[in-house]
Each structure stands twice: as C-alpha cells, then as structure tokens.
C-alpha cells in the first residue's frame, strides 16, 4: 500500500530544506504531482493529502482521469503534445509545460480563443541537445518567444526542461543554464510573457533544481510509488 499522504509530507520537507539552503521561501516552489499511469483513486488520495497540482503526460489518459476526479485541482500537461490534441489539451488543462514550436503555440492559441480561455504555457527547452527529446535549442528560444508573443490567448509563464541524466555538477549546469536563459529573456520578452516560472527537476534531482532556481518541480515516483 502506497502511503501517499506520508510521501507528500516528506516531499514538502525536502522542498523546504532545499529552498532554505538556497535562501528561498519554500512557498516559491510549486510541486506538481505527476500521476502518469496512476488511477483516479490515487489522485483523489493525493488531493485529500494536500496536493493542489497534478501533472499528466497523455491527453487521453488525463481525460478519463479528470472526469473521474471530483476534488478541485490545477491540471498540468507535461508530456509531448501533438497539434491534433491541442484542442483537447486546452479543454482539460490549465497549464501546458511543453510548447516547442510556433505551430503548436498557434494551435493552442486558436483553440483557447474558440473556448474563450486564457491558457498558461511554458516553452520547453532541450538543454542537453538530445535528439530523442522534445524542446527547442537554447538559441532558438528567443525567436520562438517573440513569435508566440502574437498569440493573445496564451500567457507564457516561463521555461521548462528535462536535462540529460548526469552527475550532480553537470545537472546543476543544465539547471543554471535554463535559469540564466530565462533571466536574460526577461529584458526582451513580449507583453504576454511573464517568465516567472522555471519547470525543472523530478524525483531524482528536484532538490538540486530548487537550489538552482526551480519554481515548479514535477514529482511522480516519490509521491505515487514506482510505475
């Protein structure tokens, strides 16, 4: 039996300790509980334990789960999003972390306008230059950000990344790169770009990410147990 409530409390303690080491307020870190492959009952248990933000990787899986979960939550899409799923994503989610092309941004913007919604998004950055991962190259973020500035139904909250698995110092360098890129882009960001958020860090590295400036961490196994 997975002790979701106990796991959640342990995560909050670890988040607080990491934030304090960095001289930050623990309240500045949003923990997104990643429920990929987990049943709605486990999501309900997490929400009852005090979780407010739920992350999902697949639109169809999330649709069934969101329909079955009665407790209020902010739903985050954190997987690779195809344009043909854009409308459904806008219907289901409040935040999309993985915008990696102008075409996807325009599709989300079009559907958000149709549904009279304002959608929070993050631009996914491929900080490690990995061919098997989504995201735009760091040098391509600024022109994409400028182009997405014309998407009036989107609010660009910040940047997201999934760095390569690496030793601690290398992980820090990837997280630091994303933070420095975000900070630099703030000076030229379009009006619909707040760039307050850095979505980086998962179960194995979220404490390092917080120390390097993460404002959102995406944690699955440490809350819900192994997949």
Q: How many CB atoms lie within 10 A of CB 158?
A: 23
- Give the pLDDT mean for 62-75: 97
Please name which of 214, 227, 219 lies closest in space to residue 8, comparing C-alpha atoms.
Answer: 219
The answer on pLDDT for 227 being more than 90 is no
Q: Cα separations (Å) of 196 from 19, 85, 115, 132, 226?
A: 16, 26, 25, 28, 31
pLDDT for 1 equals 82
What's the pLDDT tens digit per position in 27-39? 999 999 999 999 9
Using the 8-state DSSP alphabet, how is residue 163 labeled? P
Report pTM.
Answer: 0.97
Q: What is the pLDDT of residues 168-224, one digit of tens each?
A: 999 999 999 999 999 999 999 999 999 999 999 999 999 999 999 999 999 999 999
Q: How far from the centroid of its chain's Cα atoms is residue 101's Cα?
A: 16
Tell me the HSE value of 223 on the side-chain side, using a 13 A CA sphere: 33
Summarize the confidence of residues 31-50 as an average pLDDT. Answer: 97
Is the domain spanning 4-224 CATH 3.20.20.10? The answer is: yes
Reported as a single tens digit per residue, the pLDDT across 113-123 is: 999 999 999 99
How far apart are the C-alpha atoms of 4 and 142, rounded to whole Å?
40
Q: Where are the beta strands (DSSP E) in the chain?
A: 30-34, 53-56, 74-77, 95-99, 119-124, 154-160, 193-199, 216-219
Report whether pLDDT(102) > 90: yes
pLDDT tens string 126-180 = 999 998 899 999 999 999 999 999 999 999 999 999 999 888 999 999 999 999 9
């Amino acid at each position: 039996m997975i002790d979701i409530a106990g796991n959640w409390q342990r995560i909050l303690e670890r988040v607080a300790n990491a934030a304090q080491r960095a001289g930050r307020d623990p309240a500045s870190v949003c923990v997104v509980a990643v429920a990929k492959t987990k049943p709605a009952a486990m999501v309900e248990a997490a929400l009852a334990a005090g979780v407010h933000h739920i992350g999902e990787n697949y639109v169809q899986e999330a649709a069934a789960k969101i329909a079955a979960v009665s407790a209020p939550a902010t739903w985050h899409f954190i997987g690779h999003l195809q344009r043909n799923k854009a409308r459904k994503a806008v219907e289901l989610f409040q935040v999309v972390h993985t915008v990696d092309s102008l075409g996807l941004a325009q599709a989300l913007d079009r559907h958000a306008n149709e549904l009279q919604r304002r959608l929070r998004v993050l631009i996914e950055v491929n900080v490690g230059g990995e061919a098997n991962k989504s995201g735009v190259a760091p040098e391509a973020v600024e022109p994409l950000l400028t182009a997405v500035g014309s998407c009036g139904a989107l609010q660009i909250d910040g940047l997201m990344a999934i760095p390569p698995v690496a030793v601690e110092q290398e992980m820090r360098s990837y997280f630091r790169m994303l933070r420095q890129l975000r900070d630099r882009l703030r000076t030229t960001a379009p009006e619909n770009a707040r760039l307050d958020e850095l979505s980086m860090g998962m179960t194995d590295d979220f404490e390092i990410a917080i120390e390097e400036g993460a404002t959102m961490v995406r944690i699955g196994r440490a809350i819900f147990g192994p997949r």
